[in-house]
């Protein structure tokens, strides 16, 4: 008997999933050992010219109630319809595979529990890092390690924009437009630009590594929209590039520290060479040391590659729960941002009458030993420096005091 698949959502990832599945169907069928077919594609839009027009439906209940459908790819995104669909499918014993990081980050604990209760699977390799294998390596290959830290460039769109701004002096708006044309950006690119997408991804990785749901709304998240060319120039002269980085780790007293923010990345650090739509994720385990995963973090076929891989895995595990899960979040499990320790780059502007030398000595007496930065054509009233490593609450207190006399233009953490 042939196994049937349904795809919910025929956007960039959905159409890529169908395309890749059909291209490699012969090999997929051979690997699974039985015939497999995409029976339905659900989308509210019409695609009369599509070669798959005969599979297009608009009623979710057709998929839910068809006993032949074993696996459903939910690639519609969002956390409302997708949540209701996924829950109903899992409760019906159908496995669901997804690229929907918003849903996994918000409801992963619950949906994984439902999958376990109904002896099916909820797989989400495509939710982090596009085509890069990272979810399975963490819960399978690296399962023998205590994960000390995971750090990553997790958003293809912002990495693409930063690369174009830094290397080609392209404007932010033009680079974003190009990322959208390439199918990298979210439907609402604010989620990319403001770090929300990367935040969901670091929460998924942290939940997986530390076994407790990390709520994306509860961790610090800032994006790249306030980064200026001045900051890029100071970074460059000082030997850094600016990247949007997510970091999650467990502290010695068992709290989870997680955040997403732009970072000054040393040009000698491997992340500084991760450009365009590429993502890189470094997992530090107490056995393996650093293991780095690198590849295309967004785009139609790279993301489809992970979705189709999950479809195959779900078909191969028909009737068996694979066992990936994490618990609901706990109160007080997160380290507050104020307690995080960082070294930060700060750029300030004084009034024209402020003397740079006076500012330098006043700031040094507050922060301790500062590294002052230069850039070509630095205006006389502008000062940029890197602080020593200190608690964020101390940095913030100092910056609040400084803000009475100078304007704080930028604050970017050092990786
Ligand atoms: N918008 C996301 C990105 C897509 O740019 O990384 C892949 O999750």
Q: Could you name the CATH architecture of 340-414?
A: 2-Layer Sandwich (3.30)
- Pocket flag, ligand 1, residue 85 (CB < 6 Å): no
Instruction: Give me the pLDDT at residue 169, please.
Output: 83
Residue 2 confidence class, pLDDT cut points 50, 70, 90: confident
CB 131 within 8 A of CB 239: no
Both tokens of 110, joined, read 């619950």
The residues near 123 (Cβ < 8 Å, ≥ 6 apart) are: 95, 96, 97, 98, 135, 310, 313, 314, 322, 324
CB 409 within 8 A of CB 228: yes
Question: What CA–CA distance (Å, rounded) separates 255 from 257?
Answer: 7
- pLDDT of residue 1 exceeding 80: no
Among 5-9, 20-24, 316-320, the range scoring the smallest mean pLDDT is 316-320
Rounded to the nearest integer, the mean pLDDT of the chain is 95
Question: What CA–CA distance (Å, rounded) separates 373 from 378?
Answer: 10
Residue 323 confidence class, pLDDT cut points 50, 70, 90: confident
Residue of 156, 183, 204 to test ligand 1 pocket, by largest number of atoms within 8 Å of CB: 156
Ligand 1 centre distance from Cα of residue 156 (Å) = 5
- pLDDT of residue 352 exceeding 90: no
Question: What CA–CA distance (Å, rounded) separates 230 from 409?
Answer: 10
Question: What CA–CA distance (Å, rounded) separates 129 from 297?
Answer: 4
How many C-beta atoms lie closer than 10 Å to residue 111's C-beta?
22
Parallel/antiparallel/unpaired status of strands 407-414 and 344-349: antiparallel
For 37, 53, 311, the CA distances from 24, given in Å and listed in that order, are 12, 20, 13
- Tens digits of per-residue pLDDT, 128-158? 999 999 999 999 999 999 999 999 999 999 9
Q: What is the mean pLDDT of residues 315-342?
A: 93
Catalytic-role residue among 55, 201, 300, 411: 201
- pLDDT of residue 201 exceeding 90: yes
From the list 325, 338, 339, the residue with the least C-alpha distance to 252 is 339
**What are the beta bridge partners of residue 38?**
5
Instruction: Give me the pLDDT at residue 136, please.
Output: 97
Domain ranges (residues) in the chain:
3-130+301-316, 135-297, 340-414
Percent of the chain with pLDDT over 70: 99
Parallel/antiparallel/unpaired status of strands 69-74 and 122-123: unpaired
CA 260, 262, 268, 270 torsion: positive or negative? positive
Both tokens of 290, joined, read 């650093």
From the list 69, 278, 89, the residue with the least C-alpha distance to 182 is 278
- Pocket flag, ligand 1, residue 157 (CB < 6 Å): yes
For 83, 98, 138, 264, the CA distances from 111, given in Å and listed in that order, are 9, 12, 19, 37
- pLDDT of residue 351 exceeding 90: no
- Tens digits of per-residue pLDDT, 9-36? 999 999 999 999 999 999 999 999 999 9
Q: b vs e for 225-263, b when ≥16 Cβ sit within 10 Å of the residue's Cβ? A: eebeebbbbbbeebebbbbbbbbbbbeeeebbbbbbbbb
- Pocket flag, ligand 1, residue 77 (CB < 6 Å): no
CB 17 within 8 A of CB 307: yes
- Tens digits of per-residue pLDDT, 359-404? 899 899 999 999 999 999 999 899 999 999 999 999 999 999 999 9
Closest-lying ligand 1 atom to the alpha carbon of residue 303? 7
Considering the four listed CATH numbers 3.30.1360.120, 3.40.1010.10, 3.30.360.10, 3.40.50.720, the one that applies to the domain covering 135-297 is: 3.30.360.10
In degrees rounded to 5, what are phi and psi of residue 70?
-100, -40
Ligand 1 centre distance from Cα of residue 388 (Å) = 33
Instruction: Give me the pLDDT at residue 353, please.
Output: 67
Instruction: Give me the pLDDT at residue 343, please.
Output: 97
For 58, 194, 225, 330, 415, the CA distances from 242, given in Å and listed in that order, are 44, 15, 12, 33, 10
Both tokens of 208, joined, read 């997986």
- Tens digits of per-residue pLDDT, 68-126? 999 999 999 999 999 999 999 999 999 999 999 999 999 999 999 999 999 999 999 99
DSSP string, 89-147: HHHTT-EEEE--HHHHHHHHHHHHHHHHHTT--EE-GGGSSTTS--HHIIIIITTTSPE
- Tens digits of per-residue pLDDT, 167-194? 888 888 999 999 999 999 998 999 999 9
- Tens digits of per-residue pLDDT, 203-220? 999 999 999 999 999 999
pTM above 0.85?
yes
Ligand 1 centre distance from Cα of residue 297 (Å) = 6
- Look up 284 and say whether it is catalytic: no
Instruction: Give me the pLDDT at residue 205, please.
Output: 98
Ligand 1 centre distance from Cα of residue 90 (Å) = 26
- Pocket flag, ligand 1, residue 297 (CB < 6 Å): yes
- Tens digits of per-residue pLDDT, 230-247? 999 999 999 999 999 999
- The domain 3-130+301-316 having CATH identifier 3.40.50.720: the answer here is yes
């Amino acid at each position: 008997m042939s196994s049937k698949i349904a795809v919910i959502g025929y956007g960039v990832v959905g159409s890529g999933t169908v395309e890749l599945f059909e291209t490699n169907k012969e090999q997929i069928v051979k690997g699974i050992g039985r015939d497999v077919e995409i029976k339905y594609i659900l989308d509210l839009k019409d695609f009369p010219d599509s070669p798959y027009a005969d599979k297009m439906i608009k009623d979710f209940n057709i998929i839910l109630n068809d006993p032949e459908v074993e696996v459903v790819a939910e690639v519609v995104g969002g956390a409302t319809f997708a949540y209701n669909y996924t829950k109903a499918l899992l409760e019906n014993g159908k496995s669901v595979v997804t690229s929907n990081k918003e849903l996994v980050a918000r409801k992963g604990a619950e949906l994984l529990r439902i999958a376990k209760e109904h002896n099916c699977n909820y797989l989400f390799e495509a939710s982090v890092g596009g085509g890069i294998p990272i979810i399975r390596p963490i819960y399978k290959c690296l399962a023998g390690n205590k994960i000390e830290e995971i750090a990553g460039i997790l958003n293809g769109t912002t990495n693409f924009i930063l690369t174009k701004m830094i290397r080609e002096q392209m404007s932010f708006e033009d680079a974003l437009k190009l990322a959208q044309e390439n199918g990298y950006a979210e439907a609402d690119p604010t989620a990319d630009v403001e770090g929300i997408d990367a935040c969901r991804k670091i929460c998924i990785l942290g939940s997986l590594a530390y076994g407790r749901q990390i709520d994306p709304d509860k961790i610090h998240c800032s994006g790249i929209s306030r980064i200026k060319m001045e900051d890029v120039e100071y970074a460059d002269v000082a030997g850094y590039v600016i990247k949007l980085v997510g970091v999650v780790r467990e502290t010695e007293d068992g709290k989870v520290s997680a955040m997403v923010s732009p970072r000054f990345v040393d040009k000698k650090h491997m992340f500084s060479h991760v450009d365009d739509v590429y993502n890189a994720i470094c997992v530090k385990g107490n056995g393996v040391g650093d293991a780095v995963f690198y590849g295309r973090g967004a785009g139609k076929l790279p993301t489809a590659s992970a979705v189709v891989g999950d479809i195959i895995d779900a078909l191969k595990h028909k009737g068996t729960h694979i066992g990936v899960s994490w618990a609901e979040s706990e109160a007080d499990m997160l380290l507050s941002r104020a307690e995080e320790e960082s070294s930060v780059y700060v750029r300030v502007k004084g009034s024209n009458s402020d003397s740079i030398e006076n500012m330098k000595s006043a700031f040094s007496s507050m922060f301790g030993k500062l590294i002052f930065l230069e850039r070509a054509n630095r205006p006389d009233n502008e000062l940029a420096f890197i602080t020593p490593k200190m608690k964020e609450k101390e940095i913030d207190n100092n910056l609040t005091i400084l803000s009475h006399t100078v304007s704080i233009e930028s604050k970017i953490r050092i990786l």
